[in-house]
Amino acid sequence: MEAQLVPNFLQKRTFLTPDRPALSFLGKTYTFSEVYERAYTIAGQLQAAGCMRGQFAGVLLRNHEDTVFILLALQLLDVKAVILNNRLTAEELIWQMNDSKSAFLLTENTFSEVSQRVVNSLGEISAIHKEELFRKVPHEPLLVEEISLDEVCTVMYTSGTTGNPKGVLQTYGNHWWSAVGSALNLGLNENDSWLCAVPIFHISGYSILMRSIIYGMKMVLFESFHEEKAIEAISIEKVTIMSVVSTMLTRIADALKGEKLPEYFRCMLLGGGPAAKSLLEDCRDKGIPVYQTYGMTETSSQIVTLAPEYSLSKLGSAGKPLFPSQLKVAAPNGKHADPGEAGEILVKGPNVTKGYLNRKEETAERLKGGWLSTGDIGYVDKEGFLFVLDRRSDLIISGGENIYPAEVEGVLISHSQISDAGVIGMKDDVWGEVPVAFIAGDENLDEKEVMKYCFEKLAKYKAPKKLIIINEIPRNASKKILRRKLRELLEESGN
């Protein structure tokens, strides 16, 4: 089958609506034609620096207007952006640059120390700092005016809980269908404006950039999240949609006090795990519309979303799959799980990755017949709503009962004296495995009181059999708990 060809996204958007606002950053707004002109110039400068079509380029940049221009310049040239998480250590970055066979590292002076270490280690790769790049005399860029939807646009590494991370291939088609699926769910309004206070190096941030180009919508970009500034920007910039995680939403809801968001504000798109009931009720009382979602790097953003009218009646659910996408839950025997029966979540659709970079075996293992094994455990109720329970790799089986660490962690974190928690399984002669909890919080934390609290909130077999107080729960750059580190700590404690 011949690949579907479409016009270059940015060129087409600039042709259609050149004078519409495209990007707002630190109070300055650019139209689509102004964004295109900047991206065009940078594309010429990238070519002058030796960038060529088809190459992979590591991108280590902050949330900034320049980052948007550079990422779009790479699209104009069909250079594949390996978008690096700027919270990673030099060792982690070296590994990803090596694994992706990136031809060069695009970065900025903020990261000069870490980028120098990367370049020193890799030798044949040079770092191009944006500050130097922008001083180059541009070549006449060889623009790619037509793009195949099968062509890789971006690569993002998933931080696996075990082993090395894998580079997820995200095609233009993946981004296109992700934007289409979101629009069919949220609706599309020519006055829409999306606030991006999440990192562009995450799919949650990059997908907003792609939607901006595809929809012809203004993206309001923040360097980092600040609740007061977000509330202010919603008014000043007439923001209608914002992507958030629970902690951001909690801070916004608290900062609003008795105030309401403007009537034109349509939705908080909530990712990063299910929200607490108290938070959703608070948002309902304050008139904050919340859409809970489930998605991952492999699905180019959300793939399942819960509409606000169900946010309380289907509390804890991630919702139903977006229009172009499919979902099923596989029981342990491989067959379709019955409603309410927990199993592995499988997803399929044109927004799902075609695989992992340079990893044929793992791609074949995770993708079968177009269905992606997510590694997550969940169930679908009788009406087709998905409830995500936990990561499969973290499942604790105790006396034949399944224990999902996320559920236990959720209870622990709801304790007033506990700021963070991580739960893993510990071998046990009687039960096979029992849960152990690592907790961080107040200095005068009372272990007996915490255990009593757990027994009040959880079935006895789910309650931690041991509590270990530590200063900080180890997490990776994507804020996922590093359970292998917890296992090491458990071994050190003599268990």
d(CA 368, CA 227): 42
d(CA 285, CA 292): 17
Residue 124 burial (C-beta neighbours within 10 Å; 0-12, 13-18, 19+):
exposed
Residues whose CB is less than 8 angstroms from the CB of residue 205 and which lie 6 or more positions away in sequence, other chains included: 63, 196, 198, 199, 243
H/E stretch holding 379: strand 371-380
What CATH number should be reported for the domain holding residue 456?
3.30.300.30
pLDDT value for 160: 45
Angle between helices 277-285 and 246-256 (to 10 degrees): 40
CB 348 within 8 A of CB 326: yes
Residue 177 has pLDDT above 70, yes or no: yes
- Please check whether residues 154 and 109 belong to one and the same domain: yes
- CA of 438: how far to CAs of 367, 395, 464, in Å? 34, 16, 9
Q: Which long-range contacts (CB under 8 A, 24 or more apart) does 12-18 make?
A: 13/213, 13/214, 13/216, 16/216, 17/216
- Please check whether residues 246 and 281 belong to one and the same domain: yes
Beta-carbon-side half-sphere exposure of residue 154 (alpha carbons within 13 Å): 29
CB 64 within 8 A of CB 199: no
- Please check whether residues 450 and 314 belong to one and the same domain: no
H/E stretch holding 295: strand 290-296
- Cβ neighbour number for residue 245 with a 10 Å cutoff: 16
Residue 161 has pLDDT above 50, yes or no: no
Secondary structure in 3-state letters for 49-89: CCCCCCCEEEECCCCCHHHHHHHHHHHHHCCEEEECCCCCC
- Please check whether residues 264 and 163 belong to one and the same domain: yes
Q: What is the mean pLDDT of residues 187-216?
A: 96
- Please check whether residues 320 and 430 belong to one and the same domain: no
Q: What is the mean pLDDT of residues 212-227?
A: 97
- CA of 275: how far to CAs of 242, 288, 347, in Å? 16, 14, 22
d(CA 292, CA 305): 6
- Please check whether residues 370 and 405 belong to one and the same domain: no
pLDDT value for 458: 79
Q: Each residue of 347-405: pLDDT tens digit?
A: 999 999 999 999 999 999 999 999 999 988 899 999 999 998 876 667 787 866 768 78
DSSP secondary structure letters along 396-442: EEETTEEE-HHHHHHHHHTSTTEEEEEEEEEEETTTEEEEEEEEEE-
Residue 392 burial (C-beta neighbours within 10 Å; 0-12, 13-18, 19+):
middle
Last residue of a domain, one of 336, 354, 389: 389
pTM, full prediction: 0.84
Token code pair at residue 216: 């012809």
pLDDT value for 162: 42
- Check the CA dihedral 306-309-311-313 and report its sign: negative
Token code pair at residue 292: 């809970």
Domain encompassing residue 317: 5-389
SS3 162: coil
Phi-psi region of 479 (alpha: psi -120 to 50; beta: other; left: phi over 0): left
CA 425 to chain centre: 27
Domain count, the chain: 2
Token code pair at residue 304: 């399942």
- Cβ neighbour number for residue 473 with a 10 Å cutoff: 18
CA 186 to chain centre: 19
- Please check whether residues 277 and 416 belong to one and the same domain: no
Could you tell me which residues are beta bridge partners of residue 401? 398
Q: Each residue of 276-295: pLDDT tens digit?
A: 777 888 898 899 999 999 99
Could you tell me which residues are beta bridge partners of residue 104? 57, 126
d(CA 434, CA 460): 11
- Please check whether residues 374 and 405 belong to one and the same domain: no
What CATH number should be reported for the domain holding residue 252?
3.40.50.12780
Q: What is the mean pLDDT of residues 235-240?
A: 97
What residue type is 221 in one-letter code? L
CB 66 within 8 A of CB 130: yes
Q: If we measure between CA atoms, which residue out of 264, 281, 274 comes closest to residue 195?
A: 264
Q: Mean pLDDT lowest for which of 22-36, 253-267, 333-347, 379-393?
A: 379-393
- Please check whether residues 329 and 419 belong to one and the same domain: no
* Average pLDDT taken over every residue of the chain: 91
Model confidence at 90, pLDDT cuts 50, 70, 90, reads confident
- Please check whether residues 366 and 408 belong to one and the same domain: no
Last residue of a domain, one of 362, 389, 416: 389
Q: Each residue of 182-191: pLDDT tens digit?
A: 999 999 998 9
- Please check whether residues 339 and 447 belong to one and the same domain: no
Share of the chain above pLDDT 90, in %: 71
Q: What is the mean pLDDT of residues 52-81?
A: 98
pLDDT value for 157: 92
- Please check whether residues 440 and 458 belong to one and the same domain: yes
Last residue of a domain, one of 356, 374, 389: 389
Model confidence at 250, pLDDT cuts 50, 70, 90, reads confident
d(CA 375, CA 304): 16
